[in-house]
Amino acid sequence: MANRPQQLPAVHEAWLPREHALHRPRHGGRQLTALICALIFFATPSLMWLGGARPAEIENHPLAGFPSIASGWSFFTDLPTWATDQLVFRAGAVTAADAISRTFFGEPAPFDQGGTGNPGPLPGSPQSPPAGQVPGQDTPHTEPGYRRVIEGGDGWLYYGFDVDGKCEPQRPMEQTFAHIDRLREAVESSGRKFVFVIAPDKTTMAPQHLPDSYAGKQCSRLASQRFWRLAGSRDYVVDIRDELAAQAQLLGRPVYFRNDTHWTDEGAIVLTRAIAEAVQPGVTKAWRAAGVGWVTGTADLPRMLGRSEKKSTLRYELRPDGQTDRTTEPLLDLERPQHHTASPIEQTVNSRTLVFGDSFALASSRYLPAGFSDLTILGYPSMADYERTVLKAFTDAEVVVVQAVERSVAASTLPFIDEGFLQQARQAMARRPIR
C-alpha cells in the first residue's frame, strides 16, 4: 500500500509562523474598531426608529421603497439607495455639512454636484474648440463643475439642468425640432389642430439673480440663443416670453418663484391665455382674473440641497366671461388623463382639447380648465408606462396642445419625439381622422 503524503492540519493563516509565505496577521485591533463603527452606524438608525424618529424627504423625490427580491440583480443595485434614504439622521447631517462648509469655506457643500459623467479638463484648464467647430454647437461639452442647483444672489436658486441640458443635449437642436415638425405633420394630416407651447426656463426669464460665474454659463447662453431662433422659425410654436416679461413688469417682480424652478400663478394664467389664443384667436378678450388670497407650498429646489423652504403665490379666480369663476382645484399629478368638462360659452374654447405637458402644465392645472369646455390634461414625462393611454388621448382630441419646458426641448429629453411613438401616433390618428 503506497504511503499517502502527509498533510498539515488546516489552520488559520494567522496561526502560521511569521516566516511562512502564507502568514497573514489578524489585525485584531483594526478589525475590532471597524466592527464597532459598523455596529454604531447600523444600530443607531434602528434605535432612533424604535424611538419614533422617521426619515424625511429632503431631496426632490419620494423616499425609495425597499427593493423587491423578484427584481433580480436590481435588488442589489437598488438596496444602497433605499438604505441611504432610510437614514433618519440624514437631514441633520446634510444641514450640518452645509453649515460647516459655508462657515469655514464660504461656499455651499458640494453634495449637489451633477454632470454627465465626463470629468473633462481640470478647472481652469484652457479650452478651445477643435478646428472647424463653432462655439455653441451641439457637441460633447467637457466643462466640469455642473451643479444640480445654482445658487444666485438674494437667495435665488436655479435648476442646474437649465444649463447642462443645453450644453450636453442628447441630439442636435435641429434634429429635435425636425422631430417635432414630424409630430405636427402627423397631427395636422389627420385633420387635428396642433399647438406647441414652450415654457421658458427660469434662467431665461429671471437671469438677473444668477451668479457672475458658474459652470456652463457661456455654452448655455449660446445654445439658448440658437434655441429661440429655431423655435421662432416655426409658426406652430407659441413663444410666451414677451407675455411673461410684460406680466413681470406689471407686478414689479419675476413671475417665477425665488426658490422653485416653476412659475407663480401669474405665469400659469399667461400660459392658459396663450394656449386659448393659439387655438381660437380673440377668445380671451373678455377674460378677467382677480386675486383671492395667498397660498403656500413646499419649494422644490431647496430639497435638492437637503433643505426645506416654503414658496408663496397669489391665487386667482379666472372669469372667462368677466363674471363667473371657472377655476378648479389644482391637480396633484398628471400620470393619468385628467378630463374636465364645463358648459360651453362664447368666451371658452369648445373643441375637444388635449394639453400634453410637463410639470409646468401641472403647475397651471388650476387655470387651464377655466378656458376650455372639454379639456384633457396629461403628462408626458412618464408616458413610457402608459403609451396606449397617450395614443388614445391624441386620437380622442380635436386639438392637440403640446407644452414643454425650454430645457427639455433643448436637451432633447422628450419621449414623444422618439421614432417608435411618432409612427404609432401617425397611424392611430390616421385611423380616426377629424373631418
C-alpha–C-alpha distance, residues 276 and 407, integer Å = 23
State how far the Cα of 264 lies from the Cα of 260, in Å rounded to an integer: 9
Measure the N-to-C terminal CA separation of the chain; round to a whole number of Å.
Answer: 100
Sequence-ordered alpha helix ranges (H) in 321-372:
359-363
> How much is the mean pLDDT over the chain?
83
Ranking 47-61, 216-230, 344-358, 370-384 by mean pLDDT, the lowest is 47-61
Strand 353-357 versus strand 374-379 pairing type = parallel
Q: Per residue in 232-286, pLDDT tens?
A: 999 999 999 999 999 999 999 999 999 999 999 999 999 999 999 999 999 999 9
Q: Apex CA 215: angle with CA 212 and CA 219, to 5°?
A: 95
Least confident of 151-165, 323-337, 380-394: 380-394
Task: Delimit the domains of the chain by residue range.
Answer: 53-61+82-106, 150-287+327-431
* Residue 422, CA atoms < 13 Å, CB-side half-sphere: 15
The CA distance from 361 to 374, in Å, is 16
Within 86-210, residue ranges assigned H as helices are: 90-105, 161-167, 173-189, 202-205
- Most confident listed range (14-18, 21-25, 55-59, 409-413): 409-413
Higher pLDDT, 120 or 147: 147
pLDDT (tens digit per residue) in 355-382: 999 999 999 999 999 999 999 999 998 7
For the segment 216-236, the average pLDDT, to the nearest whole number, is 96
Three-class DSSP category at 150: strand
pLDDT for res 84 = 64
